[in-house]
Amino acid sequence: MRGRHGHHHRSDLVRIAIEALAERGLEPEFPAAVQRQLQGITGPGRDDDARIQDLRARLWCSIDNDDSRDLDQLSVCEPLPGGDLRVFVAVADVDAVVAKDSAIDRHAWTNTSSIYTSARVFPMLPERLSTDLTSLNPGQDRLALVTEMVIAADATITRASVCRAWVHNHAQLAYDAVSAWLDGEGALPEAAARVAGLDTQLRLQDELAQRLRARRHERGSLELETFQPRAVFEDERIVDIRQQVHNRARQLIEELMIATNECTARQLQAAGVASLRRVVRSPERWLRIVDLAREYGVQLPAEPDSKALEAFLAERHRADPLRFPDLSLVVVKLMGPGEYIVEQPGAEPVGHFGLAIQDYTHSTAPNRRFPDLVSLRMVKAHLAGRASPYSLAELTALARHCTAQEDAIRKAERRVRKSEAALLLESRVGESFDAVVTGSAEADTWVRILTPPAEGKLVAGGHGLAVGRRLRVKLVRADVERGFIDFAANGREGRG
């Protein structure tokens, strides 16, 4: 047993993560066949097809997390006469290196996604590929699939086409630094300052993204804020847990990716081939969402209506930002998770309720998501005039499998997050924290402490407390191995 004040380390979390993945039918490690295939890969993707365009001179840049090394996409845009903007989004041509049904592809098929825990990332593709040979790294020439879109002043996509091209990343940038500069709170990042004209480029992309975002919200796209804190380590020691802030640079990439995903779905539809779509159906439990809104004095329509729901959420976010993540979580659960389905050309689209979009596929992150690699292969086959590489039966099985694995990954990541929080808190048993009640069942009450952001169970003194209630709690147990955190209420505070 470990001492009362805890001596768990990052390596314990890695072990817990590996167990959590294996228990849920995921493969934490690459099989030997993957290593053998890797030895035969000597360099990045090559192709001498005469139709591949040379777009390396454009001012491409990547914006991603500070620690991201698997760069899936680049973007660049230019103004057109009359207020239109032309935007190009390049997506790494992973298929140029990873063939369908190869050992590396089969492992990617098994997990369907990279799995991110704070202690260790379990990449979908071996790191020699995802962070190097198939990554759009700065200063490297890489093959990509480029979507070109013309976006009008009212943020509608008026034209879109796709081609294969050579691209070159001129600057690797990170969300927080770019966002601080866009908001006038920081200097232009050095990597951008070194490239003439990149500042104008980033302003244009930001302006375009804000335009696209405004239009999505007009159509009823939901703005939710889920609680997903991440542990921060210094070597083996956990030093903090931080909730990720959504900022302008994240919005910039998010909007360009949503637009690209829409265009990919339409490309495949126009080609007359079935596609693997990402959908969020109209909520089956809409009437429970209506009841929830009624508790806040808001009457929602009887039929699912994303515009009305977005207006309610926006009002709650303004009125009570502290409790908004908890309300978001309730709404997300009532809406039900996203899923992958196969959509036939010409069929009535199911659509994505949360994004208020009819046509949507995952296509912009083939280094870290398998459905994106499938979409990439299908678009490439269409461009080459070849039959789709996936049969209808294969796609149907894939849609079910990707949905199931996504659920398994979500559960595994949540399980590890609980152990991360327990690891940070195990030396603080006996201390008191500000908290808010996030859930109550017959026998159990759940709370979220505010600093550091962590959730746990109220095991004493909290019976009958309403959700949303603010209180002081004392930490009584932090069990790293099982991911249990227990609190006792020590006096109610605030009228909350």
pLDDT attached to residue 68: 87
Residue 3, pLDDT score? 38
pLDDT of residue 491: 57
CA distances from 29 to 32, 115, 131, 469 (A): 9, 12, 17, 43
Q: Cα angle at 120 between 428 and 117, to 5 degrees? A: 65
pLDDT for the residue numbered 400: 97
Q: 75 and 88 in contact (C-beta within 8 Å)?
A: yes
Backbone angles phi, psi at 53, to 5 degrees: -80, 160
Domain 429-492 has CATH 2.40.50.140: yes
Query: What does the alpha-carbon distance between residue 124 and residue 366 come to, in Å, rounded to a whole number?
Result: 9
Alpha helices by DSSP H, listed for 78-231, are 103-111, 127-128, 175-182, 190-193, 198-219
Do 100 and 112 form a contact (C-beta atoms < 8 A)? no
Q: How many residues does the chain have?
A: 496
Residue 438: C-alpha distances to residues 326, 431, 486 (Å): 6, 20, 14
Q: Is 400 left (phi over 0), alpha (psi -120 to 50) or beta?
A: alpha
Q: Name residues of the chain where pLDDT drops below 50.
A: 1-5, 492-496
pLDDT tens per residue across span 265-316: 999 999 999 999 988 888 878 888 999 899 999 999 999 898 999 899 989 9
Show me where the domains of the chain are located.
10-264, 286-335, 429-492
pLDDT reported for residue 346: 80
Write the pLDDT tens digit of every residue in 246-259: 789 999 999 999 99
